[in-house]
């Protein structure tokens, strides 16, 4: 189905805009990281680093209506918001498992929980989306 992606979202990529290049941070809302699961598996492990004043980390993945996303997180204290294929969103505070009611591309934004101690630093989120 997908190939594993375990990239830290603190990498930067160059994106050409107009006459000259502009810097877009991988994992930002304008340059989300695609979650790809290794063929024959139903999970991916996401690693990132949350820093003050940095737009990080936004991921995208595809799912079919009726699937569920199971997740665990460790490291920095994070907030997760999911945006559905129709543009509506839920979070922070996602249920586990998180229902995926529509077929299409989902966005998962991981940000620091500024109301908690330990909101900055490295984190690991493991997601599993078993077939229906």
Percentage above 90 pLDDT, the chain: 58
Radius of gyration of the chain (CA): 15
- pLDDT value, residue 24: 60
The angle subtended at Cα 76 by Cα 73 and Cα 80, nearest 5°, is: 55
Beta bridge partners of 59: 33, 108
Decide if 6 is inside a domain.
Answer: no
CATH code (residue 57): 2.60.120.380
13-34 pLDDT, tens digit per residue, is: 222 233 334 456 777 777 899 9
Q: Is residue 99 part of a domain?
A: yes
Identify which of 74, 75, 94 has the alpha carbon closest to the alpha carbon of residue 84: 94
Residue 81: inside a domain:
yes
Q: For residue 7, is it within any domain?
A: no
Do the domain assignments include residue 64? yes
- Residue 123 resides in a domain: yes
Say if residue 97 is preceded by a cis peptide, omega within 30 of 0: yes
pLDDT tens digits, 103-112: 999 999 999 9
Q: Give a yes or no: residue 3 inside a domain.
A: no
Give the C-alpha separation, 31 to 67, whole Å.
Answer: 25
Confidence category of residue 10, pLDDT binned at 50, 70, 90: very low
Residue 121 lies in a domain: yes
Q: Which of 111, 92, 107, 117 is nearest to 48 (CA)?
A: 111
Answer whether residue 6 shows pLDDT above 80. no
In sequence order, what are the beta bridge partners of 121?
A: 50
Q: Number of structural domains, the chain?
A: 1
Identify the pLDDT of residue 23: 55
Q: What residues make up the domain containing 116?
A: 12-128
* φ/ψ (deg, to 5) at 21: -75, 150
pTM, entire model? 0.77
């Amino acid at each position: 189905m997908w190939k594993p992606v375990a990239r830290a979202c603190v990498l930067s990529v160059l994106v050409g805009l107009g006459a000259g290049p502009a810097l877009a941070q991988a994992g930002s809302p304008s340059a989300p990281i695609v979650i790809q699961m290794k063929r024959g598996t139903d999970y991916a492990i996401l690693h990132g680093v949350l820093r003050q004043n940095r737009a990080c980390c936004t991921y995208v993945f595809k799912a079919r209506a009726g699937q569920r996303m199971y997740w665990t997180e460790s490291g920095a204290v994070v907030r997760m918001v999911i945006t559905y294929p129709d543009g509506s969103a839920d979070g922070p505070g996602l249920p586990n498992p998180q229902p995926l009611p529509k077929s299409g591309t989902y966005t998962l934004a991981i940000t620091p929980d500024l109301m908690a101690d330990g909101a900055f630093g490295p984190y690991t989120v493991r997601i599993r989306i078993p077939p229906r």
